Amino acid sequence: MKKQLSIKWRQPVTKVQAACAAGGIVLYAVLELSTFWGRQDVFYGEGLKRAGPGQGENIYEVLVKGLDEEQEDKKLLIEIPVRERRYTDKEAEDLFDQLETQLPAQILSENDSLNLIRQNLNLKTRLDTSGLTVRWETSDSELIDSSGTVYNKDIPETGKEILILAMVSDGIHQRSYQYKGKVYPPVLTLDEKKKAAFQKWADDLDTKQQTDISLILPDVFEGQKLRYSKPKEGSYGILPMLGFVLAVLLQVRTQVEKQKKSRLREQQLLMDYSEVISKLVVYIGAGYTVRGAWERIAAGYRESLKNGRRVMRPAYEEMVHTASQLKSGLSESRAYNEFGRRCSLQPYIKLAALLEQNQKNGGRQLRNALDIEMASAFEQRKNAARKLGEEAGTKLLLPLLLMLFVVMTMIVVPAFLAFY
């Protein structure tokens, strides 16, 4: 008979937990009540509020009950647009009276007064605070245009008078204002004055030489000798910085390539380790000495490389180098030790230690140790192959995601275009 599982709440409810739960309930109740009374205001309160003048209409969603004669309690959701409020005649009159004195101060911008206009005016086409629109006109659009831009470079120092007309409207009511102003030339620095005088002189000279093929600039202006040159089209100061950046990038690229080669070499060494161990076990089991087996493996690799049956592998290259050291008279213990140091991986260091120990203590246990190492090497090779497969799968993930994005785009975009 199966026992029924029962879960008991053993920990007591803390005050903080109770307060959180109670707070959530109270907040829910307050929001529901406020929403309820807000809905009631639509029916019994102030009604649907209008936006201020010039702020556009408001759209309200209202649940209406009683439209259906058969189902009196049925509610229908209806959107009701409420237009913006209009000014009354009295409100518009008072507002226009205020603007008559406020507009001149608003349009001055950085000018001291309308009787001393040297810079652009601030001719707003809409007064946001009151929702009124303004249309501007001037008596001379070549001196001040309707946007407030002032063209005063060529006017005399005595100034030039102008009339500015503002037509203000709220869509129903309208009033016009007229202001007198006087435009003066801009205040120039000494360099700007020299530049303006030279430009005017060059313009007059161009008019005189207009029938010639080119404009010849004289060597003297107001008693001063002149020299002319073209301004620089660009700065080349960025080039040294680009050179330094390129040098750093090349150094980084060199380091990255070195790391990639080192990582590839380590992978190849790990993949070849089980093969090297198995060949040593086979040759030693066949009666070869460790040195004889080593030289036989190195000779077989050189022959295969010469015939083109295999490519260069770092593990066998190091074995060939060790075989050459043995032939040159280096002791076996030292040669195997240097072999492990050059490979610099734990499995090869362990193999070199086994071979070196065999030279010192004799070879009774070498075969068993190599058998155990061979089994471990094949397991390591399987793990390395599995890891490489996972890395390849991870690299394919980004192209797969890009293909999925393209397919989804091809499906979704036509659907949206057809819908709209």
- pLDDT, one tens digit per residue, over 266-324 is 888 888 888 888 888 888 888 888 888 888 888 888 888 888 888 888 888 988 898 89
Q: What is the pLDDT of residue 332?
A: 86
Assigned domain for 63 exists? yes
Assigned domain for 416 exists? no
Check if the beta carbon of residue 352 is closer than 8 Å to that of residue 334. Answer: no
- Of 42, 61, 82, which one is at a domain's C-terminal end? 82
Q: Do 270 and 386 fall within a single domain? A: yes
Q: Do 379 and 289 fall within a single domain? A: yes
Q: What is the pLDDT of residue 235?
A: 66
pLDDT in tens, 384-407: 778 777 777 777 788 888 888 888
- Of 121, 153, 183, which one is at a domain's C-terminal end? 183
The amino acid sitting at 11 is Q
Q: What is the pLDDT of residue 188?
A: 74
Q: What is the DSSP string of 186-206?
A: PP--HHHHHHHHHHHHHHHHH
Strands ordered across the beta sheet of 174-183? 126-127, 132-138, 160-169, 174-183
For the question of whether the overall pTM of this predicted structure is more than 0.85, the answer is: no
Assigned domain for 247 exists? no
pLDDT band, residue 16 (cuts 50/70/90): low
Q: Do 147 and 38 fall within a single domain? A: no
What distance lies between CA 367 and its chain's CA centroid? 62
Assigned domain for 370 exists? yes
Q: Do 109 and 41 fall within a single domain? A: no
Distance, in Å, from the CA atom of 188 to the CA atom of 120, rounded to the nearest integer, reads 15
Assigned domain for 132 exists? yes
- Of 67, 82, 97, which one is at a domain's C-terminal end? 82
Q: Do 376 and 285 fall within a single domain? A: yes
Assigned domain for 343 exists? yes
Q: What is the pLDDT of residue 344?
A: 86
| Mean per-residue pLDDT of the chain | 80
SS3 call for 108: coil
Q: What's the rounded mean pLDDT across residues 331-342?
A: 88
Q: Do 284 and 369 fall within a single domain? A: yes
Distance, in Å, from the CA atom of 202 to the CA atom of 218, rounded to the nearest integer, reads 10
Q: Which residues contact 302 (CB under 8 A, 6 or more apart)?
A: 320
- With a cut of 50, say whether residue 2 has pLDDT above it: no
SS3 call for 332: helix
Phi-psi region of 63 (alpha: psi -120 to 50; beta: other; left: phi over 0): beta
pLDDT band, residue 207 (cuts 50/70/90): confident
Question: Which token pair is 5?
Answer: 């599982």
**Measuring CA to CA, how many Å separate 414 from each of 407, 419, 420?**
12, 8, 10
Distance, in Å, from the CA atom of 209 to the CA atom of 215, rounded to the nearest integer, reads 6
Q: Do 66 and 141 fall within a single domain? A: no
Strand-pairing partners, residue 62, are 78
pLDDT band, residue 165 (cuts 50/70/90): very high
Q: Do 283 and 370 fall within a single domain? A: yes
Q: Do 78 and 125 fall within a single domain? A: no
pLDDT in tens, 17-47: 677 777 778 777 777 776 655 555 454 455 7
Assigned domain for 223 exists? no
- With a cut of 50, say whether residue 6 has pLDDT above it: no
Q: Which domain holds residue 326?
A: 266-392
How many domains in the chain?
3
SS3 call for 58: strand
Question: Which token pair is 174?
Answer: 């309208």
pLDDT in tens, 51-100: 777 677 788 777 777 776 667 667 777 788 877 777 888 888 888 888 88
pLDDT in tens, 240-265: 788 788 888 888 888 989 998 988 88
Number of H helices, E strands in the chain: 10, 8
CB-neighbour burial class of residue 377 (10 A; exposed 0-12, middle 13-18, buried 19+): buried
Distance, in Å, from the CA atom of 358 to the CA atom of 93, rounded to the nearest integer, reads 114
Q: Do 103 and 32 fall within a single domain? A: no
Q: Do 292 and 360 fall within a single domain? A: yes
Q: What is the pLDDT of residue 200?
A: 81
Distance, in Å, from the CA atom of 183 to the CA atom of 154, rounded to the nearest integer, reads 11
Q: Do 155 and 71 fall within a single domain? A: no
Q: What angle do CA 211, 214, 217 make, to 5 degrees?
A: 110
Q: What is the pLDDT of residue 34?
A: 64
pLDDT in tens, 132-155: 888 989 888 888 888 888 888 878
pLDDT band, residue 7 (cuts 50/70/90): very low
- With a cut of 50, say whether residue 181 has pLDDT above it: yes
Assigned domain for 383 exists? yes
Closest CA to 267 of 389, 135, 161: 389
